[in-house]
Amino acid sequence: MPQHAFKCVISCTMTPFIDLQEQHVQLSQSGTTWTGTFTGDVGDTLKIAYTVTGITGSPWTVDITVDCGKNAPAKIFSDKGNIPHGGSEGHTTSAKVASDPCATPPHDAGAAVAQAAEAKAVPDKVASKKAVAKKAAPAKGAKAP
């Protein structure tokens, strides 16, 4: 499998942390946006763990993409929400990575994207994520809080 450069873009009002393949990704800050890159051969599955902190009720987003040169970046993983009471939220999940993410339409490049959207459609987000995690194998992008 070739190496890919995974670009992480996280927005939150305080400090986020993200591990890809169980390695810390260094994020540099610009306002509420934190950006970093992880390069490596991850096989067909990218392990993701992230924690966002901020003011209760403020929005957060997590986006992982692979740069495709002149074309639009290939989406690998995307999630968003609002900071819960307590000021922190963390998730561990995984995303399917095609051998050539840029050859795949952006919405198909990461299986977790669809699963995250599916989780959002259910009112009880946590419950739905647990259900997704039980239902799908880790390689399919299972997500558990």
Residues in the chain: 145
Q: Which own/partner contact pairs does 71-74 have at CB distance under 8 Å and 24+ positions apart?
A: 71/102, 72/106, 73/7, 73/106, 74/98, 74/101, 74/102, 74/104, 74/106, 74/109, 74/110
Q: Does 139 bind another protein (CB under 8 A)?
A: no
Partner residues linked to 4 by β-bridges: 40
From 21, 40, 59, 139, residue interacting with another protein (rule: CB under 8 A): 59
The whole-angstrom separation of Cα 54 and Cα 94 is 24
Q: How far is the CB of 16 from another protein (least distance, A)?
A: 6
Q: Does 81 bind another protein (CB under 8 A)?
A: no
Number of residues that bind another protein (CB under 8 A): 40
State the amino acid at position 35 in one-letter form. T
From 9, 40, 68, 92, residue interacting with another protein (rule: CB under 8 A): 92
Q: Does 16 bind another protein (CB under 8 A)?
A: yes
From 9, 21, 67, 87, residue interacting with another protein (rule: CB under 8 A): 87
Q: Does 21 bind another protein (CB under 8 A)?
A: no
